[in-house]
Amino acid sequence: MYQLKGLEFNAYITVIDNDENDNTLKIAIKDNIYTKGIRTTAASKVLYNFIPSYDATIVTLLKKIKKAKIIAKTNMHEFAIGGTNTSSAFGITKNPNDPELITGGSSGGSAISVAVNDADVAIGTDTRGSVRIPAAFCGVYGFKPTFGRISTYGIIPNSWSLDHVGILSKNISKLAYVYRMLKGYDDKDPNTLINLSIKERKKNKIRRIGIINELTVDCETRNDFMRFIYKLDYDIEEIRLPIVLSTLKYLDVFRAETASYHRRFLKLHEQDYSPDVLSSIKQGFKIRAVDYVNTIKIREEMIKEFVKVSINMIS
């Protein structure tokens, strides 16, 4: 047995296996993902003693990976409704780079777990940045795949039309390996994609990366990024995509779907929610049906524009 370093930073809600074995692929899982027979709380008093009777699809797949073991369920922002990890029934997570700083969220415990080398790979969920934000704050890789590439069956939803499973690691090869093991169609999740196979491209084919003009970043960061891309021998193409300025409209979708899921809990457990989480949920009840439908329409138009740009990039 060995002491998980992440405990010092409040990374875990439940420790599952801390037997020391350097020959295993150690995996930590966010606590909104169902694990059969193991408490799954979503860091909330509402589900404080909830024990699922089945595994999420991704947990089933992780258990099939040779020499892999799940070491812990990680702390998070309650119900994944927040980007700071400061609201949890199990306390605030602390940034391993500086305990006075936040980890970001909502997958903050997962980011800690790989940052301190307790886990080789950690699983999180990402609806509005919940893998990418803590990855950036804690200095690790955070990957949010295309919607539908990894099943979300058995995961406590935040916004079902926007939820993604994401992967965090300090090792890009291990991250990619776990992604390959998890991706694919799941008949329990109608959003999963049946076939996204792409024929191997010829080595001499031009490779391009598009830079969307409407998305701004500070000059130093942009210049560092551009220098890095040029070193990889990619072509840079600047793209106009004005519709991305409408992305904040997605909040209507997120809030309405979140409120829909939590309606049943609020009747009995409203007092058990953190104030910021409860406030966010209640905003969803103010969304009119017509606004929700209009936002879905805008989203469809955005997808069409992104697809059009992508086709132009590879043609």
Does residue 30 carry a catalytic annotation? Answer: yes
Q: How far apart are CA 81 and CA 163, in angstroms?
A: 12
Q: Are 28 and 118 in contact (CB under 8 A)?
A: yes
Tokens of 13: 């809600």
- Cα distance between the two ends of the chain: 55
Among 158, 167, 166, 168, which Cα is nearest to 250's? Answer: 158
Residues 6+ away with beta carbon under 8 Å from 259: 281, 282, 283, 284, 285, 287
Among 106, 159, 169, 274, the active-site one is 106
Contact at 8 Å (CB) between 90 and 9? no
Cβ contact 77:43 at 8 Å: yes
Is 50 strand, coil or helix? coil
Total count of residues recorded for the chain: 315
Could you say which DSSP state residue 248 is in?
G
Indicate if 130 belongs to the active site. Answer: yes
Residue 138 CA, chain-centre distance (Å), reads 15
Q: Clarify whether 282 is annotated catalytic.
A: no
Catalytic residue chosen out of the listed positions 130, 159, 169, 280 = 130
Q: Which of 26, 30, 170, 183 is catalytic?
A: 30
How many angstroms from the chain centroid is the CA of residue 245? 22
Tokens in use for 99? 């305990």
The CA distance from 137 to 54, in Å, is 33
Separation CA 87–CA 106 (nearest Å)? 9
Catalytic residues: 30, 106, 130
